[in-house]
Structure 1
Amino acid sequence: MQAFLFDLNGTMVHDMEYHTRAWQRLFNEDLGGSFSWDEVKPQMYGKNREVLVRLFGPDRFSGEEMDRLGMEKERRYQQEFRPQLALLPGLPEFLESAHQRGIRMAIGSAAIPFNIDFVLDNLNIRHYFQAIVSADDVTVSKPHPEVFLRCAELLGVPPAECLVFEDVPKGAEAARNAGMDAVVLTTTHEVAEFDYLPNVRHFAPDFTDAFMRGLVA
């Protein structure tokens, strides 16, 4: 493979629980909802506006209100997650080895730049990535392939030569729709939830196992 494309949340950092908790509290404590954890968790993909529409319908909030609520959720997420902020085990070494081998790398995430910057700059890993595609850079969210095709274009690498790292079925499905294989980090979802995706090459809890090391050997 010529390029590695990384989702961010749940793939590079183990933070999806914090995102889910921040949304659940906002929905229930601020917006008068009564959503259970099991109702909120499956909605943890896509742009913030899309999450709000899926839970509350298209007519509840104006665009300005959704943007304000989304930023409030991100502030709460960052405040709670900051003490735990760290890359998944093995990922620092994986990134350095890929960098030394000349493998091009990009981030393709539904996160807004505010959250991508939070991770990259606090962990000092921005220099590993030749391209970053955020929620602000795409029209259609995963499972549409736009985000990963945009990464490949910016890197100058054919889609078939890109390997995607993801943690949710919709992300691995976006990789399939882009003509890319995927490696799934099992931080967020069970292996069985990916059964319909033939492009998943491997499942791992982090980047320490032999398969991961073999990718950069």
Structure 2
Amino acid sequence: MVTIEHDCERTAAPVAAAIFDFDGVIIDSVHPDLLACSALYREYGGGELPVEWWAQEVCGQPDSYERLFSRLLAQASASAGAASQHTRAGLRRRLDELWEVYLTEDHVRLMPAVEEALDTLRAAGLPLAIASASNGRWVARWLRHYGLTQFFTAVVTCDDVPAKKPDPAVYLEALHRLGVPAEACVAFEDSHSGMAAARAAGVTVVAVPTPATRFLDHSHADAVLDDLSVVTPRWLAEVRRTAW
């Protein structure tokens, strides 16, 4: 975790709002997704899914599952010595079935310290938003399930914008709905594409990588946290000050 040092001679820049990615920051859908992808990889002859490759190429990346399918199809074709009988559509159908098994209430949990951080920020009167690459139905489902809907002034998903992360559209829309300037906001992200989107929108970026992605390089973030337990308005002001 990066520690934000207090400088008594400088006034911390005010923060007007905080914006949160959803999958991997609010809820842990990353591990269940890894379980589903790993099951698909085993079923279609790929052996054990290389977790580091998955974290780099699939997790949170645009067209991520197409990369997984391409790898499986290439391996199946090479091992058979001829054209594979597997199809991209078949892989997609099977992954959808595996998601039904793993992306459930038994597996999708809140990330550590989420409720405490949201309580603290809301009590301080700070507007909060979601900026997610997932669809609105998915986000609404888990916000309701965990009783978090009331925390967020704005919820922006891929249904609301023309392009997914790393395009900054979802962050720009969240900023518009919050009615605050980018330079007064702090964003929390777990993926490289999400951090790139927030950065392109002009927002201070805090990386909160999941256990599956902590080995990746997050040095381009303004701060890196193990979880949200240290997040308070004062901490946001400090990270905002050191970022500018």
TM-score between both structures, scaled by the size of structure 1: 0.79
What displacement does 1:70 show? 6.4
For residue 180 of structure 1, what is the aligned residue in structure 2?
203
1:111-190 residue pairs with structure 2 within 5 A? Answer: 111-188=134-211, 189-190=213-214
1:55 to 68, 91, 94: 68
Unaligned runs of 5+ in 1: none
| In 2, Cα distance between equivalents of 1:32 and 1:114 | 33
CA contact (8 A) 1:7 1:107 kept: yes
| In 2, Cα distance between equivalents of 1:46 and 1:187 | 15
CA contact (8 A) 1:98 1:216 kept: no
What displacement does 1:151 show? 0.9
CA contact (8 A) 1:46 1:110 kept: no
Find the residue that maps to 2:202 and give its secondary structure.
Answer: coil
1:16-165 residue pairs with structure 2 within 5 A? Answer: 16-29=30-43, 35-42=49-56, 43-46=58-61, 50-56=63-69, 61=88, 71-79=96-104, 82-165=105-188
Residues 192 and 77 from structure 1, CA distance in 2 versus in 1: closer, same or farther, beyond 3 angstroms?
Answer: closer
What is the total number of aligned residue pairs between the two structures? 204
CA contact (8 A) 1:165 1:183 kept: yes
The one-character-per-residue Cα deviations of 1:91-137 (angstroms, maximum 9, x if unpaired) are 21221221122211111111223431332111000111122122222
What displacement does 1:32 show? 5.7
For residue 226 of structure 2, what is the aligned residue in structure 1?
205
CA contact (8 A) 2:29 2:103 kept: no
Residues 119 and 3 from structure 1, CA distance in 2 versus in 1: closer, same or farther, beyond 3 angstroms?
Answer: same
1:193 counterpart = 2:217: yes
User: What one-letter code is carried by the residue in structure 1 that aligns with 2:102?
Assistant: Y
More RCO (CA 8 Å, sep 6+): 2
CA contact (8 A) 1:8 1:109 kept: yes
Q: Which moved more, 1:128-137 or 1:184-193?
A: 184-193
**Which aligned segments of 4 or more residues in structure 1 are displaced greater than 4 angstroms?**
31-35, 68-71
CA RMSD of aligned residues (A): 2.8
| In 2, Cα distance between equivalents of 1:180 and 1:191 | 24
TM-score between both structures, scaled by the size of structure 2: 0.71
Q: Which has the higher helix share?
A: 1
| In 1, Cα distance between equivalents of 2:175 and 2:99 | 28
Unaligned runs of 5+ in 2: 1-14, 71-86, 238-244
